[in-house]
Structures are given as C-alpha cells and as structure tokens.
Amino acid sequence: MTLIDIFATSVAALRSNLLRTFLTMLGIIIGISAVIVLTAASEGAQQGVGDRIRGLGSNLMFIRPGAVTTGGVQGLPGSGPSLFLEDSNAIAAQNFEYIEGIASQGTAGGPGSPFPAQAIYRGQNVSTTLVGTEPSYQSVRDFYVASGRFISDDDVTKKALTVVLGANVAEKLFAGKDAVGESVRIAVGPGRFAIGFNFTVVGVMEKKGASTTGDQDDLVFVPLPSFQARVPFIRNPRGFTNVSQINIKLADRGEANRAKEEIGGLLRERHNVNEDDFTIQTQSELLSTATDVEQSLQVLVVSIALISLFVGGLGIMNIMLVSVTERTREIGIRKAIGAKRVDILLQFLVEAILVTLLGGLLGVAIGWGITRVLERGLDWDINLLVASFSLSVSDSSKYLLTPFWILVGLGVSAVTGLVAGVYPAWRASRLDPIEALRHE
C-alpha cells in the first residue's frame, strides 16, 4: 500500500465513528487549550511586569531602610528607621561621577500602610499615597507633570503647602476639570486621629501606570520639608529626617555594581554598622527577579497543562487498543489479501497521529478564542498571578500569544499521538491472520 492509500484508509476509519473520534480528541483539545491559555497569561504577566519596571525610569537604583526587628521577629524590608535625608545629602556631596541625579522621598498611606492618606475636595474622598520629595524627583524617575508645574526649590525652602496630584487622583476629585489652583485637603492617619492640611494644587502628573509599589497615578506629591513638618509620627527623635527611599539615577547602567559597593560602604560608615541596615537594589535586579518569578510560574502552568496532555495520550492509547480489538477480523482480511505488517502498523499510527494533530489544531483555535474573550470581553486581572510579589501588572487582563507555544502545543500533540499509537499499532501488526479471521 502507498502512503496515500494508508492515509485514505485511516481517514475512512476515523469517519466511520465520529463520536468516538471526537471523544478521543477531547483530552488533547483540553490539554492544548490549557497550554495556550496558561502560557499566554504567563507571557502577558511577564511582559507586563517588565514594562512596569522599565517604566520606573532608566538606570535606577533604590536605597531603602532595612527591616525592623520586634520581639525577635524581623519585619519586612523597609520597615526600619535607618535611612535619612542626611544620608542622601552625604551621597550627593561625594559627587560620584556615575550619579546623574538623586532624590529622596518619604511616604505615608498606600496599600498596607498603618497611616492611611486621603485626598479630599468638596465631599469627594480618595485614598492615596502621600509622597514628600524634592524637585529632582521628576528627572530621576522620568515622571513629569502633564499640566501646571512640579515642586520647586522655593516650595522646599518655604515648606510651602503645595501639592501635585497623580492622574487618577485628579480625575476622581475633579472629573476632568482643571485642578491647578484649587485647594485640596490631605489627611494622614487612622480615623479620627488623622491630621489634615489644606494644600494648593500646582500641577497634575502624566499617566504613568503601575510599579512595584502600586499605581503611580494614585500618588500625590508635596515638598519633603512640608511632609516632614506636618506628619509628626514619622519624625526621628534623634533629630534626623527619616526618608523611606532614596532614588538614584545612574549615568551608566554598567556602573551599578561599583555604585552599590561604594554607596553601601559610605552608608555603613555613616551608620557605624558592620551589617547593612539598608537595602540597595537596581532596576536591573528588579527586572531579573520578576523574570525569574514569571519563569517559575510558567514552568508550573505548563507542567499542569502537560499533565492534561499525558492523560489525553492515555485516552488515545486506550481507544486505539479498543479499536484494534474491534477490527481484528478486518485486520485478518487485509492480511489475507496481501497487506504487510508495516501497512497495518502505519495505518494505526497514522490514525493516532491524525486524531492528535486534529485535536491539537482545535485546541489551538479554542485556546486562542478563550484568550481573546478573556482579554477583550472580561475584566479579569492577572495581577492575582503575581500579587504575592507586590508587582502590579495592568489595570486589566493581558494575554500574549506567542508562535513558540503554539508550535510546542502542536508538536507535543503529534508526539503524544505517535507514542500513544505505537503499542496498539504494533499489536495490530502482530496479529496472526488465521486467528484474526476466526475472531467474531
């Protein structure tokens, strides 16, 4: 028999029992659909995290306080009062050639903060994160105003009650109206213990999106001295000015390791410690960590999907064995009229491969359709996939289909069919024609 004859015979055999053929394919369809949807979600999450981290600005380095220890229990990184404005000034005074810009910031409010912050305007109340910072923050973080102006040196000197609103905050409070020149009350603290002051809006920031610490469009910015003077529970009894983060923009990303070593040494000397009571992290390290997390997640979801394919392969093998038993007499007749063992072997192999390839194509189509529905028709948020790492990906679902995973899905389905069909096909080819003819 020619390959065309074998192919035609296999197609005819599959068409003779369409329901069984479909049920045989079902495991492969589910498995391939799972591979496509889960890998698309994982790829989308990975790209989204990378985009958000890169969106923080270029060549950034972040210095944060170390963890505070209470009762022998170490808290989260950044919870200790071990970073000060004076540290930032000392770093700037060194005139390191690789530092392009430096900006300190203090924060109050935000997710998980014990001191919530509210922005209030004419009965409208919006939860926000209050950031006290310096004029250099704009250029260091590549985050600029869309209207009005940012905090100025004069605001810092005078401890002015001026505020720059994030895009989301301005939209929620003013519903598209011009916010510049209006008075907004900023209250910080829990419940009735909140401390509030009226600030004049001098600018509204451009839309920036999410970052590792939350949505940057939900921030409001005030001069750092104003922040320190009016939020008493973050003051330092030693007379230092606490800051929650020092942002450093490097002139060359290749100098990151040198910068970490030299700046770390300076801070250890200033704090008179042998072990770091601060953390230094570069933008590249954040991106690398996020990539490692997403790759691990991808391995997990692909493993789950491949289990479905394995189960589908067992189903194919089972149905093919049943088919061999049912068609024993047919095999005997074909052998009696001249069919060779290799012809029988190839026929059953082709049947198994056709079932899995067709199931794989249907699985790819269904998986593609599901991703389109999830991305366009529903508002599911894949931040749930990375919430434990405090990385916000996007405001809505993001799925990224790649040709690689489509080809992997089809390739795995073909291999599954080949492997699942080998034993039934070998068993069929080994049947004795005389015994086969006697089979009822």
Residue-wise pLDDT tens digits, 274-329 = 888 899 988 767 666 666 666 677 677 777 767 777 777 777 777 777 777 766 77
Global pTM?
0.60
Domain residues for 22? 3-53+288-438
Q: What is the dihedral of CA 101, 132, 282, 271, to 10 degrees?
A: 90
Residue at a domain's end among 224, 253, 276: 276
Name the one residue in this structure whose structure tokens are 């042998």: 274
Other residues' Cβ atoms within 10 Å of the Cβ of residue 362: 18
Other residues' Cβ atoms within 10 Å of the Cβ of residue 161: 17
216 and 327 together in one domain:
no
Q: Work out the angle at residue 108's Cα, subtended by the Cα atoms of residues 219 and 139, and round it to the nearest 5 degrees.
A: 45
Q: What tokens appear for 241 in the block? A: 């000015």
296 and 267 together in one domain:
no
Q: What is the pLDDT of residues 89-109, one digit of tens each?
A: 999 999 999 999 999 999 888
Least confident of 1-10, 139-148, 264-273, 342-351: 1-10
Burial grade of 179 (CB within 10 A; 0-12, 13-18, 19 or more)? buried
Residue at a domain's end among 228, 251, 276: 276
Residue at a domain's end among 217, 243, 276: 276
Tell me the CA end-to-end span of the chain in Å, nearest whole number: 26
In this structure, the strands spanning 124-133 and 145-148 are unpaired
237 and 297 together in one domain:
no
259 and 319 together in one domain:
no
Q: What is the pLDDT of residues 56-65, one digit of tens each?
A: 555 888 999 9
